[in-house]
Amino acid sequence: MPKAGIIYNDLKPMACSVAEELHNQLRTAGWEVCMATGVGGILGYSSPESPVCHTPMDKLAPPGFDDQMAFAIVLGGDGTVLAAFRQVAPQGIPVLTVNTGHMGFLTETYVNQLPSVLEQVMAQEYAIEERSMLSVQILRDERIWWEALCLNEMVLHREPLTSMCHFEVQIGHHAPVDIAADGIIVSTPTGSTAYSLSAGGPVLTPEVPVLQLLPICPHSLASRALVFADTEQLTIFPATPNPMVMVVDGNGGCYVIPEDKIKVKRSPYSARFIRLQAPEFFRVLREKLGWGLPHIAKPTSVELP
C-alpha cells in the first residue's frame, strides 16, 4: 500500500478541514496516510537559564514519515512550509506545498486547485525541484550546544538593549575578517527573497550553488553583502562581551555568548519541492513581490482653463 503524509497548520481552521478531507480522499484511493502538525518543526527558544533547547536536526520526523513515503502535502503558509521541511528533509520526502496563508511565496498551489492536483500527484505526474538548506551549529567547548536545519536563513543579532556588535567571520580556509554591525544574516538562495532581501541583499536564483553573508546595518561603507560558494563552511566567533541572539528561519533560536563558535554550512539534506509544471522563478518574483512589472504611464498634461 503506498504511503503519503499530511502536515498542516492546526491554528488555521481552513488547513484543519482541508487536511481531514485529503485524509479521507487518500484513504478511499487506497493510500496509507500519516498526519502531523507543523509544530514538530518549530524550534522553540532557549534562555540564558536553560540554554540547551534542541533536538538533533535529523530526529524531527513525525511518526510514520520515513523514506518509504511517496510524498507529503503541506497545508499552511510559508512558516508551515519551513517547519515541515525541517521535519521531512532528512528523509528525502517530496513535498507538495498548498497555500492556506497570505503571501505563500514557497507554496506551489491553492486549496481550490487540490481536486485535480491530488490526482496528478498520486499519478506521479510532477517534477522535483531541490533547494539547498543550511546546517547551523553552536559549539561550546567543542561540544554541540544547539543545532538546526533551515531553508531560508540564520540570523545572529544583538539584543534590543545592547549596542552594536562585532563578529569575527571566517569563510573556508580564508583569513578571518571583522564585521561591526547590528547583526549578520547567512542565507540560502531560497532565503535571499526573505529577511535578506528586506535588509538590502541581492536576489539569488534557487539553482545557484552559493550562500550569502549580509551584515545588518553595518558601521562601514565597505561591509556589504558577500556571495560565496556553498562548498565553503562559514565560522562565526562573537567578538563582543554581551550575549547575542540567534534566530533560524524566523521561528526559533538561542542565546550566544562570547565563548561560543557558530558553524554554518550547506546541509547534506535538500528541500524537495513537488512542481506541477516547470519552475518559473521570475514569474513567482513578479506575482508575489512585483519584480519586473511595467512602469505605470504618467498622466498626460492637461491645460488648465
Annotated binding-site residues read 78-79, 152-153, 182, 193-198, 251
Amino acid occupying residue 157: H
Task: Give the residue ranges of the annotated binding site for NAD(+).
Answer: 78-79, 152-153, 182, 193-198, 251
Cell of 224: 556589504
Does residue 269 contact residue 85 with C-beta atoms inside 8 Å?
no
CA-to-CA separations, 85 to 58, 94, 139, in angstroms, rounded? 11, 9, 24
Q: Within 10 A of 232 (CB to CB), how many other CB atoms are there? A: 17
Residue of 10, 78, 178, 230 marked active site: 78
Amino acid occupying residue 178: D
Q: Alpha-carbon dihedral of residues 174, 179, 184, 188, nearest 10 degrees? A: -30
Does residue 199 contact residue 216 with C-beta atoms inside 8 Å?
yes
Residue 260 designated active-site: no
CA-to-CA separations, 87 to 73, 109, 148, 222, in angstroms, rounded? 13, 21, 11, 39
CA distance 117 to 96: 10
CA distance 85 to 61: 9
Amino acid occupying residue 69: M
User: 181-211 burial, b if ≥16 CB within 10 A, otherwise e?
Assistant: bbbbbbbbbbbbbbbbbebebeebebeeebb
Residue-by-residue DSSP string for 85-145 = HHHHGGGT--EEEEE-SS--TT--EEGGGHHHHHHHHHTT--EEEEEEEEEEEEEETTEEE
Helix (H, G, I), strand (E, B) or coil at 210: strand
Catalytic positions are 78
